[in-house]
Structure 1
Amino acid sequence: MIRIPTAPLVLGLAGLIPFVWGALTILMPDWRDWGASALGPRFVGPYVQLFYGSVILAFMSGVLWGFATKVEGSRAAIGYVLSTIPALWAFFMTSGGPIGAATNLMFGFAGLLLLDYAFYQWGLTPPWWMRLRLLLTAVVVTCLAITIVY
């Protein structure tokens, strides 16, 4: 089993904080009230998850773009085209209410995982990439599901 290097693991886990915080403030009204008072209403509940989720999908488009630079020709062109999908998805699919936006973000992160796997299969990612992406995606999707259910 390939170990995820410490820096990407710690930074990836730190990147989950807004998703987890958002879910906790949905489940715990006292935390939501404190967070809204101390941080502002945009930084609690579904609002922090939806805004940050859009940012992360755009960020991951950049990561995939970087992987596409490792090849040339038609495979690079395909990689560049595929790498734009998460950012475009976030841009077009996260309007409307929080339930619809959270649902679309869940699909966006699931689709991103498929793109991660394609880039992994093409040998463009580090060998530990899918272990990290599976872990992070599982947490993100779970947190977004809390937004949808509650």
Structure 2
Amino acid sequence: MSAAPRRIPRAPLVLGLAGLLPFLWGALTAHFGSFGTEAFLGERLIGLAALISYGTVILCFMSGILWGFSMQLTGAVATRGYLLSVLPALWAFFCVGGEASLLALMAGFAALLALDFWFVRTGAAPVWWMSLRVLLTSVVLACLLLGLLI
């Protein structure tokens, strides 16, 4: 049996980085305008609205990933994993909306790192997972912070 890879595999890295594009776009258009793209993108996909809507989608997406990790576990640890896995989606549902949406998303993504760490410690997530999650979350938090600063 070979040792688990510690480097982030190419496909998750490339796809994870590509998944940052809507965050970067939202932060860019929040600060510099829509560059005339609102005609075909609509207001929901520009600026703060893009940051909030995409951030909400990604928190829910991450709940699904954590649910998948939970399936690697058994017994009480699996139950705990399933319970923890729904928290990002519930956070997005109950806390995102209104004036504090960017702050709620920032808190949600920061807390998600703790959940990611728990899943790595249980062995349900691959050993490279935290390297990917810290990289992606750092950019996400920076984009959300830029949105707050306008």
Deviations 1:49-77 (A, max 9, x none): 11111111111101001111111110000
Pairs aligned (count): 146
Aligned mates of 2:78, 2:40 — CA distance in 1: 46
2:128 matches 1:128: yes
**Preserved CA contact (<8 Å) 1:61 1:83:** yes
**Preserved CA contact (<8 Å) 1:16 1:136:** yes
Quote the offset at 1:37 in angstroms: 2.6
Query: Which one has the bigger helix percentage?
Result: 1
Which of 80, 92, 95 is the aligned partner of 1:93? 95
What does 1:51-90 align with in structure 2 at a 5 Å threshold? 51-90=53-92
2:12 matches 1:47: no
**Preserved CA contact (<8 Å) 1:35 1:43:** no
Aligned mates of 2:84, 2:37 — CA distance in 1: 37
Aligned mates of 1:35, 1:116 — CA distance in 2: 36
Amino acid of the structure 2 residue aligned with 1:108: G
* TM-score normalised by length of structure 1: 0.94
Quote the offset at 1:33 in angstroms: 4.3
- Give 1:23's aligned residue: 27
* TM-score normalised by length of structure 2: 0.94
- Give 1:107's aligned residue: 107
After the TM superposition, which parts of structure 1 deviate over 6 Å for at least 4 consecutive aligned residues? none
Aligned mates of 1:88, 1:105 — CA distance in 2: 12
Aligned mates of 1:134, 1:33 — CA distance in 2: 31
**Preserved CA contact (<8 Å) 1:20 1:143:** yes
Quote the offset at 1:35 in angstroms: 2.3
Aligned mates of 2:133, 2:22 — CA distance in 1: 17
Q: Alpha carbon RMSD of aligned pairs, Å?
A: 1.2
Q: Sequence identity, in percent?
A: 51
Aligned mates of 2:132, 2:37 — CA distance in 1: 29
Amino acid of the structure 1 residue aligned with 2:109: F
2:146 matches 1:146: yes
**Preserved CA contact (<8 Å) 1:19 1:48:** yes
